[in-house]
């Protein structure tokens, strides 16, 4: 690679083939084409992994690391690895996903490399020697365009806001990385706790059935779970419902929870506070059921029904079961 060649690095810290990864790779691929540069993807799993073989269809080069610390999502290990590779390649931009680890290391990585960072990007483009990031502001009511003038630009992108990567005519190369990811790690992973979850991730779901505090307790969520099964959908909830312990916190959607972009988001007994709307702003269609005709969510939804959910969910589930 020529020293004058623009480099775009995409760091995929979670080696999973899903729509979020496809969108992240697509963002890096398009930015590299826009800048006339090369697209390098960093991942874990080793050069013989199925994931690396799939990723090389969308990149010029794949650098993969066979490291237990990276596979276990050790933040310091990923920070060290990306920093070393970036110091060697001198990228103009480094893109990461919207997982918790990526969000954590994005500003730290920018500081370490003397660059600039931004997050929750819905679009990333080149503007001469700088990078432009488009993201939602004011709870999704407006969009801001942020120019990152320091290089490299380190950006984490919102899941499902980017078009997936295209398969290239010629697959890229796969190289085994030689960075010692375990060096200079100042913290130790004691244990991990994983909650069992059925179905796909909320970020990848095409249909989401979500409930809020207006349901009045945990029992009504059982009806929403049953409806979701008929629709082959995923369940979610507002922060208030999660904080009350009615459903797991992994269901939380909003500014401080997951940001989703399904084809359909069905909001049941959710008022539509700005923090919640920020998490569902990219939904293709929002349908709302609420007893309050003045609920803010009715200003944002495509389909609204002023009614008690108890008069709707049961008959809706029965009718859909007949049709689907």
What would the pLDDT profile of 230-262 be if each residue is shown by its tens digit? 999 999 999 999 999 999 999 999 988 888 889
Q: How many CA atoms lie within 13 A of 258 on its CB side?
A: 26
In a domain, 142, yes or no: yes
In a domain, 23, yes or no: yes
Quick one: pLDDT at residue 17? 80
Which has the closest alpha carbon to 297: 284, 306, 288?
288
- Crossing angle of helices 100-113/75-89, nearest 10°? 40
Residues 28 and 123 in one domain: yes
As for how many domains the chain has, the answer is 2
Residues 154 and 207 in one domain: no
Q: Label residue 3 by pLDDT band (50, 70, 90).
A: very low
CATH of the domain at 39: 3.40.50.620
Q: How far is CA 292 from CA 213, 270, 309, in A?
A: 13, 10, 11
C-alpha span between 118 and 103 (Å, rounded): 10
Are residues 154 and 19 part of one domain? yes
144 shares its domain with 248: no
23-32, 155-164, 213-222: segment of lowest average pLDDT:
155-164
Q: What pLDDT does 1 receive?
A: 37
At 313, which helix (H) or strand (E)?
helix 313-323
On whether both 118 and 64 belong to a single domain, the answer is yes
User: Is 1 a domain residue?
Assistant: no
| Domain shared by 133 and 235, yes or no | no
Residue 60 pLDDT greater than 90, yes or no:
yes
Q: Are residues 241 and 124 in the same domain?
A: no
CATH (domain of 262):
3.40.50.1220
Check pLDDT > 70 for residue 266.
Answer: yes
**Is residue 193, in this structure, part of any structural domain at all?**
no
What pairs with residue 87 in β-bridges?
none
Within-domain flag for 187 = no
Average pLDDT, integer, range 1-9: 67
198 has pLDDT over 80: no
Structural domain of residue 168, as residue ranges? 7-176
């Amino acid at each position: 690679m020529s020293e004058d060649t623009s480099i775009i690095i995409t760091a995929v810290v979670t080696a999973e083939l899903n729509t979020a990864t496809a969108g992240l790779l697509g963002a890096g691929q398009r930015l590299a084409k826009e800048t006339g540069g090369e697209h390098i993807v960093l991942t874990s799993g080793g050069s013989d992994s199925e994931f690396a073989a799939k990723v090389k269809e969308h990149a010029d080069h794949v650098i993969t690391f066979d490291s237990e610390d990276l596979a276990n999502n050790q933040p310091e290990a990923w920070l060290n690895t990306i920093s070393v590779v970036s110091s060697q390649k001198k990228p103009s931009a480094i893109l990461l996903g919207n997982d918790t680890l990526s969000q954590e290391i994005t500003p730290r990585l920018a500081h370490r490399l003397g660059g600039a960072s931004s997050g929750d990007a819905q679009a990333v483009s080149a503007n001469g020697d700088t990078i432009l990031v488009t993201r939602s502001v004011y709870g999704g009511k407006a969009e801001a365009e942020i120019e990152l003038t320091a290089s490299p630009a380190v950006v984490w992108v919102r899941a499902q806001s980017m078009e997936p990567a295209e398969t290239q005519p010629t697959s890229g190369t796969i190289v085994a990385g030689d960075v010692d990811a375990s060096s200079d790690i100042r913290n130790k992973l004691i244990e991990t706790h994983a909650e069992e979850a059925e179905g796909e991730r909320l970020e990848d779901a095409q249909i989401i059935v979500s409930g809020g505090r207006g349901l009045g307790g945990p029992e009504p969520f059982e009806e929403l779970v049953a409806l979701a099964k008929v629709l082959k959908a995923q369940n979610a909830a507002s922060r208030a419902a999660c904080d009350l312990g009615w459903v797991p916190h992994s269901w939380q959607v909003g500014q401080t929870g997951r940001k989703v972009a399904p084809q359909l988001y069905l909001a049941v007994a959710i008022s539509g506070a700005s923090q919640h709307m920020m998490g569902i702003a990219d939904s293709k269609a929002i349908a709302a059921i609420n007893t309050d005709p003045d609920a803010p969510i009715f200003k944002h939804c495509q389909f609204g029904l002023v009614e008690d959910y108890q008069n709707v969910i049961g008959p809706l589930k029965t009718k859909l079961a007949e049709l689907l």
